[in-house]
Amino acid sequence: MRLPSFPSGSAMTAALDAGTPGLRRDGASWYAYLLLAYFTYVISIQGNIIPYLKTELDLTYTEVGLHPSAVALGFISAGVFGEAVVARFGRSLVMLAAAYGSAAGMLLLSLAPAAWASVAACLVIGGFGAFIPATVSAILSDLHGARRAVAYAEANALCYLFAIMAPVITGIAAALNVNWRVGLFAGALAAVVIVRSGRMVRLPEQPLRVASDAGIPLPPAYWAYWAMLAFGVALEFSALLWAPAYFGKVVGLSPAAAAIAAGVFFAGMLLGRTVTIRLVAMFSSRVVFLAACGVVVLGFLAYWGGVAYAPLAVFGLFVIGLGTAPFYVLCTEFCMQAAGAASARGSARMVIAPGVAILLNPPLLGAIADRAGLHAAQVMIPVFVIAALVSFAVAGALQRGATPSGSASSP
């Protein structure tokens, strides 16, 4: 079957370009958007299949936490080696290998007979797939320059359009008594379709300036924003990974209802990231971030306090998703702005932050859940919000201290 390639002058592209002057979306933009969206689906499906893996392989919560931690090791390796790998093989080849490699990992996960095999499959997923987010931010920065914040917001809105399909597919499969592995198969198929459709796309192969910026250090403010990004991802995973189990074990919903109810988080994220496209064009990114933190806390109060009333808990999770939505977009923009001339290295190192968050957060929440219960473990959601706010304040202070009086320093 011959698949169509991405159009660079479609009516939809023209309409979007008209709505955001100065931002032009060609085939390379759409290819980067869709690959990032595909990998978001891959990450998101974990929370929905965990209850089935836990039952089928008889796992403890701590053992469950090893699966996303294995994915996280891939993020860390991509952050450490991504700059050199992309410089050696080129963005197009790296993105191709990342898509097909992570798809193969999903198929291996579907065949895993024991915990060691499922954890190993997650290591394959992360080891290959993490090169997608490690590369996309640099690609979009090269393509869109000063308008990259809008491009990041659009890419991440599309990500959650894909992500919301994870609980939908899993929930429908459960309701129809279809094997839960159908969600993994759908993800692998999406990788093939996107790569084949983008076969004619030429990504900007601008050198990552490994030599020219080798002597330029990433400033302290960058690392403070980096920490803020890590806490934001930890916050997101606290809801994304554990919501299906929380609704099933704590709130008392059936497996199918719990999987579908968990989808409201993705719905909130999708709406939030769609709105973020406009918000970052209308307001200061810092104001948007502070408002988002407040929304997350309000949502948590309903989510955590609605144990005896499922609709309130579900609504709370939706609001948490709404508030969490701008975090990754804004932290990416903050990091890239703070990196300055070392933006290539900043893009590669930035992906280590979610890797560290995914590596440490699930075992931490799993250990708390094993000892104090899943309900108590969810208290980490507001804890991560506070940690992100502290990092945000530190980064701002560092930027003000490093910027001459009268110069602009904030994104």
| pLDDT tens for each residue of 310-325 | 899 999 999 999 999 9
For the entire predicted model, the pTM comes to 0.74
Confidence of residue 146 (pLDDT cuts 50, 70, 90): low
6 located within any domain: no
17 located within any domain: no
Mean pLDDT of 50-78: 80
Is residue 256 over pLDDT 50? yes
14 located within any domain: no
| pLDDT tens for each residue of 364-374 | 888 888 888 88
Q: Which pLDDT score, from 0 to 100, does residue 6 have?
A: 57
Contact (CB, 8 A) for 46 and 118: no
Is residue 169 over pLDDT 70? yes
Contact (CB, 8 A) for 318 and 267: yes
Mean pLDDT of 89-105: 92
Helix, strand, coil % over all residues of the chain, rounded to 5 = 80, 0, 20
Confidence of residue 15 (pLDDT cuts 50, 70, 90): very low
Is residue 73 over pLDDT 60? yes
Cβ atoms within 10 A of the Cβ of 182, count?
A: 16
127 located within any domain: yes
Compare 18 and 303 and report the one with higher pLDDT. 303
Compare 54 and 398 and report the one with higher pLDDT. 398
Confidence of residue 1 (pLDDT cuts 50, 70, 90): very low
Report the CATH number that the domain containing residue 116 is assigned in CATH: 1.20.1250.20
How many domains is the chain built from?
A: 1
Contacts of 190 (CB under 8 A, 6+ apart): 38, 41, 162
Q: Which pLDDT score, from 0 to 100, does residue 294 have?
A: 95
71 located within any domain: yes
The Cα 324–Cα 392 span in angstroms is 15
| pLDDT tens for each residue of 98-108 | 999 999 999 99
Contact (CB, 8 A) for 409 and 400: yes
Contact (CB, 8 A) for 309 and 322: no
At which residue do the structure tokens 């992500």 appear? Answer: 163
Compare 260 and 123 and report the one with higher pLDDT. 123
18 located within any domain: no
CA atoms within 13 A on the CB side of 102: 34
Contact (CB, 8 A) for 82 and 208: no
Is residue 331 over pLDDT 50? yes
Confidence of residue 231 (pLDDT cuts 50, 70, 90): very high
Per the prediction, the chain carries an average pLDDT of: 82
Q: Which pLDDT score, from 0 to 100, does residue 89 have?
A: 87
Mean pLDDT of 36-58: 83
Q: Which pLDDT score, from 0 to 100, does residue 18 have?
A: 45
Mean pLDDT of 30-59: 84
Inter-CA distances, 20 with 276, 278, 280, Å: 13, 10, 12
Structural domain harbouring 268: 25-202+216-402
8 located within any domain: no
Q: Rounded to the nearest 10 degrees, how much is the dihedral formed by the CA atoms of 263, 273, 337, 403?
A: -110
47 located within any domain: yes
